[in-house]
Amino acid sequence: MQAAAEIIGAGEAQSASLADILADAFANDPVLNWVIPERTLYPDFFRLIIRDTFLPGGIMHLETGDRGAALWLPPGRKLTVAPGLAMLSLFARLLLRRGPMPLLRIPQQGKVFERHHPQEPHYHLVFVGVRQSAQGLGVGSTLLKQGTRICDQNHLPAYLESSNEKNIPLYERHGFEVIAQENLPGGGPPAWFMWREAR
């Protein structure tokens, strides 16, 4: 019998676990596969954004059984990665393994997502994921409840980009509504942009 999901706030000590969980959860994600078509780089990608964006000013949630993780940004914070050796190394490996196309797709995806990003203050659920071996057990729902509780306590809406159509019903059950949909350029996959009013 599976243990009930319990969520804790995560910090630097849990960074490796967060990155490992999200790399596994997003291994078959249509948008991430299109932007970074090299799954072996996903742990390094998540470690980089956790270090540069979420440790300094984000909200990180970890399921205590190491089955799921969520990364939120509070109002006024943006997803940023500082130029440096870690980023250059990631881009160099991507270029060597997959050629120049992914390096063109990264800014294309950024422009599409930026176009739909709401201006009013909100909490931004940037990533939520559950290990493939633990999907369908309620871990994702428990992570969403933890995050949306913070939004409601602060009387602020929430926003997310869904990169996988199969996740939309889960988000809708937690109060999110699709406000836009757009395919990424050049035959890329669709993305759904979702909004949730505070309750």
In this structure, what are the phi and psi dihedrals at residue 125, rounded to the nearest 5 degrees? -85, 100
Which pLDDT score is estimated for 14?
A: 97
Taking only Cα atoms into account, the Rg of the chain, rounded to an integer number of angstroms, comes to 16
Which pLDDT score is estimated for 91?
A: 82
Q: Give pLDDT tens digits for 52-89.
A: 999 999 999 999 999 999 999 999 998 887 777 777 88
Per-residue pLDDT of the chain (199 residues; tens, 9 = 90+): 456 789 999 999 999 999 999 999 999 999 999 999 999 999 999 999 999 999 999 999 999 999 999 999 999 998 887 777 777 888 888 888 888 888 888 889 999 999 999 999 999 999 999 999 999 999 999 999 999 999 999 999 999 999 999 999 999 999 999 999 999 998 999 999 999 999 9
Burial of 39 (0-12, 13-18, 19+ CB in 10 A): middle
Contact 123, 57 (CB under 8 A): no
Contacts of 88 (CB under 8 A, 6+ apart): none
Structural domains of the chain ordered from first start? 9-196 (3.40.630.30)
- The β-bridge partners of 129 are 69
Which string of DSSP letters, residue by residue, matches 24-65?
Answer: HHTTT-HHHHHHS--GGGHHHHHHHHIIIIIHHH-EEEEETT
Question: Distance (Å, rounded) from C-alpha 199 to C-alpha 193?
Answer: 19
Q: Of 90, 170, 87, which Cα lies nearest the Cα of 128?
A: 170
